[in-house]
Structure 1
């Protein structure tokens, strides 16, 4: 970790945009140890087995037809940062036409903010299903950040292969959702672009933001339901320990979680899981899977708190 190099990269940021993305990548990686991805043949096979088992179980239990992403990578933290610099850049692109009185100062602040954000996430993300929103490709990707998975397994005092398998099931659950709903990436992209474009004009498109938040609540909640049904081991202890870890950390960690909206993400998990559990208890998992048949089947914000209303509308 080279904090001086990280600060220097931000100070030297240039270009014409509101963010110097090359400097973001350099600064974030300089402040973040890359970690080791020298896998033994046994561990390589373990990842393959976990991902394939997750695919087969989710197909069987969830009754959804989907394929694994073409790109499945075991990454170190620097690999993850590089992949997500591209994602953040696509999202922020509508803001590039903004002008400020002091573009050089603004660019340095924006670059530093993005570098801190990606460095923090790069040190903490365990796995990621990436639908590559706003990209000129239909390919999706699945990432496992091995150094973080190993570190957290040690911190939680849990068996590494078991923890790794649990992460694989969770991320493949997201692949199942997007595989079952080929319309979902376009739906999320439209709402994301509406939200960001409005922000670039100094406004907030509340409708687009609400629809985006509701859709992501459905995505996170359904994945939790699938995990409950498909994971082939008891995992209550893993969930409890990981939740306790999320509540801990020093002042900086807690501040970053608030700034990045990670508490909102947790709320999406919990609210969405309660909704889909109620649907599955009332009508079975197949009824819950109907949410992905078409965009109109997504629950509204009000229906998330009244599953019976959603059932009445969708089954009518």
Structure 2
């Protein structure tokens, strides 16, 4: 498909729903180079070996008991778009149930959703997918091979080393959801509350605030485990990846801000500072108490005052 095909897919958006999801998938893929997925047997074994090593190291460092997903997908960008179209569809279902959308609004919604997926598909390296709001209890681990290779080459680092670093990060998320069976339901509930409110033209600020706070804990704890479990040096990888993100130019920076990428970076940094402080004052096992129950999640205030959380949870 070409960019022209993408435009045609959006223009042809149809149906009575807020978004024409088939058109979203076609348009996003039309605007995105799929990327090469010419994996050797050594490449495939490399991904599997990295995930196994990450699981063993993270179990040892964290003391958490968890499994990695049965399904580990090494994808190109189009595969990633198809998987995430389904996630978007599930998340926005309440909006579609509550209102009929005229053609212009449907076309706009279809175009903006497709643009978002296309932009992210060109940048995402790996993803742990807990399949929120899905009927299945399965969860999955994705690696976008063309992006991993392109990023490693652009940063002048060895592809196997960079791939392993990404594997460790994504497996930390599997550790979190495996250690906290309630976490998926907690996130689903807050997401449903927020989107249901929007479908009635209401803003459920508390639901979205709790969602952001929880995701800050998820990203921050992942950073803590990644730093302490990775079996190689990583300072240069983190520095070069940050430099690469900053060098995307003013248009890329504008798009990232519009899509909330700066907020995600703030989640990483704020959450990491919280868990580093807890682990330094106590230990990694104390930091892991966050996954014992929803009540152990830090509040927004406690994220900036970690010792208040320690006093409440680990006294």
* TM-score when normalising by structure 2: 0.98
CA RMSD of aligned residues (A): 1.0
- In structure 2, the partner of 1:314 is 313
1:148-297 correspondence to structure 2 within 5 Å = 148-297=147-296
Give the drift of 1:5: 0.4
| Stretch moving more, 232-241 or 247-256 | 247-256
Report the Cα distance in structure 2 between the residues aligned to 1:115 and 1:98, rounded to whole angstroms.
22
Give the drift of 1:182: 0.4
- In structure 2, the partner of 1:92 is 92
| Stretch moving more, 194-203 or 292-301 | 194-203
1:10-49 correspondence to structure 2 within 5 Å = 10-49=10-49
Report the Cα distance in structure 1 between the residues aligned to 2:159 and 2:79, rounded to whole angstroms.
21
Q: Count residues in correspondence.
A: 315
* Corresponding residue SS for 1:161: helix
- In structure 1, the partner of 2:127 is 128
Which structure 2 residue ranges, 5 or more long, are not aligned? none
| Stretch moving more, 250-259 or 115-124 | 250-259
Which structure 1 residue ranges, 5 or more long, are not aligned? none
Deviations 1:117-138 (A, max 9, x none): 1111111100000000000011
Give the drift of 1:251: 2.9
Give the drift of 1:248: 2.1
Report the Cα distance in structure 1 between the residues aligned to 2:82 and 2:254, rounded to whole angstroms.
24
Deviations 1:18-45 (A, max 9, x none): 1000000001001111111121111111
Deviations 1:225-251 (A, max 9, x none): 001110000100000111111222133
Report the Cα distance in structure 1 between the residues aligned to 2:249 and 2:86, rounded to whole angstroms.
29
* TM-score when normalising by structure 1: 0.98
- In structure 1, the partner of 2:67 is 67
| Stretch moving more, 276-285 or 199-208 | 199-208
- In structure 2, the partner of 1:139 is 138
Report the Cα distance in structure 1 between the residues aligned to 2:255 and 2:132, rounded to whole angstroms.
24
Deviations 1:49-98 (A, max 9, x none): 11100000001111110001111000000000000000000011111034
| Stretch moving more, 265-274 or 241-250 | 241-250
Report the Cα distance in structure 2 between the residues aligned to 1:209 and 1:4, rounded to whole angstroms.
37
Report the Cα distance in structure 2 between the residues aligned to 1:99 and 1:252, rounded to whole angstroms.
34
Report the Cα distance in structure 2 between the residues aligned to 1:216 and 1:20, rounded to whole angstroms.
28
Report the Cα distance in structure 2 between the residues aligned to 1:250 and 1:31, rounded to whole angstroms.
19
Report the Cα distance in structure 1 between the residues aligned to 2:129 and 2:82, rounded to whole angstroms.
13
2:276 paired with 1:305: no
Report the Cα distance in structure 2 between the residues aligned to 1:99 and 1:207, rounded to whole angstroms.
24
